[in-house]
């Protein structure tokens, strides 16, 4: 059932297979088929790739980082262009995070209190104050299609006391973010925190739900916790999160992580992993993992993946790409990043088709059988 909250975004669920959902997020800037994966453009660019590359990969929505964009180039610069879309040359939807993850990841460079967070910028050491109100104001100036409340992401492991403090702070900040948000054409998502404690997660959602968010993100996972603990949280939330709004699992992850989350009703993902792995020649393929730096590929005439539509696989050999990587040619960064991102988008398209056909379980099992840390491709 279509449903709009606070904004002109509309989410519609088109098919279900178990808890998995095949849907669409509709924005004035375009429709995003879900489950969907967002490449991460921390400073307004997915490293090594331009907007045409992202489109070629099958990406339809990208993520920008509120804190890092506010530090460089600064909101004053981006505002001169009318917002982030025009500044980076991307015509599709954009989601901006709030800076909440940096509350954890930049722990040595910040101080936190009930009002907000003071960061010491990792680039030049200057102080930068981020409150829920300022996080929303920055995202409204960026003009993203989806913005996030400011939250406090606890580390893993965290004591029950640490989880309780961070959760209380996240709920307070969510209320303040909701009150501060004024841009009606911009969706606002709440973030369910609570560490790996299931009762805390359920309490977080129960408190956030009446605030009327356009969708819900699950934050604070993929921060070092064991996979079974992450899946236990998703299992606990899959029956309580609203059916008529999108569900976003932040910062995840490997192909297997996406598959297991889709099985539990997740609609939206982001992660730096595919492009980071691509830049390091650690490649996902339809036949398993391929580590292109291994010497065995020096004379290999085959493509990386015969089933992949990306330019590297369609035109070039493993031997040539191995050579480019060995000599440090920047071209390899683009080609291999584009390959891994294309793999992710092809994977999500396959999952969407499987949900529509009611065949997600066997397709998921086939994909999961390819996962492993060792090299699977010969």
Long-range contacts, 375-378 (Cβ 8 Å, 24+): 375/288, 375/289, 375/290, 375/291, 375/294, 376/287, 376/288, 376/289, 376/290, 377/285, 377/287, 377/288, 377/289, 377/290
What is the layout of strands, in order, in the sheet containing 40-41?
36-38, 268-270, 247-249, 215-218, 187-192, 146-148, 94-96, 62-64, 40-41
Helix axes 160-180, 132-142, angle to 10 degrees: 50
Q: From CA 357, how far away is CA 367, in angstroms rounded?
A: 17
Please name the helix (run of DSSP H) or strand (run of DSSP E) that holds residue 173, with its range, or none.
helix 160-180
Vertex 64: Cα angle to 137 and 6 (nearest 5)? 50
Quote the CA–CA distance of 206 and 175 in Å, as a whole number: 13
Annotated active-site residue in 270, 300, 305, 325: 270
Q: How far apart are CA 378 and CA 374, in angstroms?
A: 12
Report residue 221: phi and psi, to 5°.
Answer: -110, 170
Residues in the chain, how many?
A: 378
307 included as an active-site residue? no
- Same domain as 105, residue 28: yes
- Say if residues 198 and 221 touch (Cβ distance below 8 Å): no
Q: Say if CB 150 and CB 130 are below 8 A apart.
A: yes
Confirm whether 228 is domain-assigned.
yes
Domain assignment present for residue 378? The answer is no
Which single residue is written with the structure tokens 């964009």?
69
Segment holding 367, helix H or strand E: helix 360-369
CA-atom Rg of the chain in angstroms: 20
Both 262 and 286 in one domain: the answer is no
DSSP secondary structure letters along 66-114: HHHHHHTT-HHHHHHTTSHHHHHT--S-EEE--SHHHHHHTGGGEEE-S
| 319 and 240 part of one domain | no
**Same domain, yes or no: 226 and 301:** no
Helices 330-357 and 360-369, axial angle in degrees (round to 10): 150
Q: Is residue 154 part of a domain?
A: yes
**pLDDT, position 372:** 63
The Cα 235–Cα 145 span in angstroms is 28
pLDDT at 109: 82
Residue at a domain's end among 219, 254, 271? 271
Q: Is residue 109 part of a domain?
A: yes
Omega cis (within 30) before 264:
no
First and final C-alpha spacing in the chain: 46
Distance from C-alpha of 58 to C-alpha of 56, rounded to nearest angstrom: 5
Q: What is the pLDDT of residue 4?
A: 40
Of 271, 291, 321, the residue at which a domain comes to its end is 271
Domain that holds residue 185: 14-271
136 contact partners, CB below 8 Å, separation of at least 6: 98, 147, 149, 150, 177, 180, 181, 188
Check if 76 is active-site: no
Task: Please tell me which residue in 17, 53, 97, 257 is annotated as part of the active site.
Answer: 97
Note whether residue 9 is domain-resident. Answer: no
Query: Which position has the token pair 């800037």?
Result: 29
**Tokens encoding 347:** 């994977």
Whether residue 339 is contained in a domain is answered as yes
Q: What is the CATH number of the domain that holds 251?
A: 3.20.20.105
How many domains is the chain built from?
2
> pTM for the complete prediction?
0.95
250 close to 270: Cβ distance less than 8 angstroms: yes
Q: What is the pLDDT along the chain (378 residues), one digit of tens a residue?
A: 334 455 579 999 999 999 999 999 999 999 999 999 999 999 999 999 999 999 999 999 999 999 999 999 999 999 999 999 999 999 999 999 998 888 777 777 889 999 999 989 887 889 999 999 999 999 999 999 999 999 999 999 999 999 999 999 999 999 999 999 999 999 999 999 999 999 999 999 999 999 999 999 999 999 999 999 999 999 999 999 999 999 999 999 999 999 999 999 999 999 999 999 999 999 999 999 999 999 999 999 999 999 999 999 999 999 999 999 999 999 999 999 999 999 999 999 999 999 999 999 999 999 999 876 567 776
Q: Give the C-alpha separation, 270 to 63, whole Å.
A: 7
Of 250, 271, 292, the last residue of a domain is 271
């Amino acid at each position: 059932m279509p449903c709009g909250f606070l904004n002109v975004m509309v989410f519609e669920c088109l098919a279900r297979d178990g808890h998995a959902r095949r849907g669409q997020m509709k924005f004035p800037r375009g429709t995003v088929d879900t489950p969907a994966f967002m490449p991460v453009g921390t400073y307004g660019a997915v490293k090594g790739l331009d907007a045409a590359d992202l489109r070629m990969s099958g990406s339809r929505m990208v993520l920008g980082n509120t804190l890092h964009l506010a530090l460089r180039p600064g909101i004053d610069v981006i505002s001169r262009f009318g917002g982030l879309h025009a500044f980076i040359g991307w015509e599709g939807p954009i989601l901006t995070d709030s800076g909440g993850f940096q509350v954890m990841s930049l722990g040595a460079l910040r101080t936190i209190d009930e009002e907000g967070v003071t960061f010491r910028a990792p680039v030049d050491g200057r102080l930068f104050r981020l409150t829920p109100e300022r996080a929303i104001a920055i995202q409204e100036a960026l003009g993203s299609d989806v913005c996030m409340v400011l939250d406090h992401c606890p580390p893993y492991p965290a004591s029950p006391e640490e989880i309780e403090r961070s959760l209380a702070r996240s709920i307070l900040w969510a209320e303040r973010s909701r009150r501060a948000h004024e841009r009606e054409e911009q969706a606002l998502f709440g973030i369910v925190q609570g560490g790996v404690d299931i009762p805390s997660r359920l309490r977080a959602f129960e408190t956030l739900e009446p605030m009327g968010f356009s969708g819900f993100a699950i934050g604070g996972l993929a921060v070092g916790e064991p996979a079974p603990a992450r899946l236990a949280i998703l299992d606990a939330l899959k029956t309580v999160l609203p059916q008529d709004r999108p569900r976003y699992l932040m910062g995840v992850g490997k192909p297997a992580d996406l598959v297991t989350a889709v099985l539990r009703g997740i609609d939206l993902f982001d992660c730096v992993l595919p492009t980071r792995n691509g830049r390091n020649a650690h490649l996902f393929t339809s036949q398993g993992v391929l580590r292109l730096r291994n010497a065995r590929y020096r004379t290999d005439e085959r493509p990386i993946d015969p089933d992949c539509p990306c330019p590297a696989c369609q035109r070039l050999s493993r031997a040539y790409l191995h050579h480019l990587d060995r000599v440090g040619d920047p071209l390899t960064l683009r080609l291999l990043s584009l390959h891994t991102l294309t793999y992710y988008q092809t994977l999500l398209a396959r999952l969407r088709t499987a949900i529509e056909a009611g065949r997600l379980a066997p397709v998921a099992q086939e994909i999961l059988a390819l996962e492993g840390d060792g090299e699977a491709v010969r």
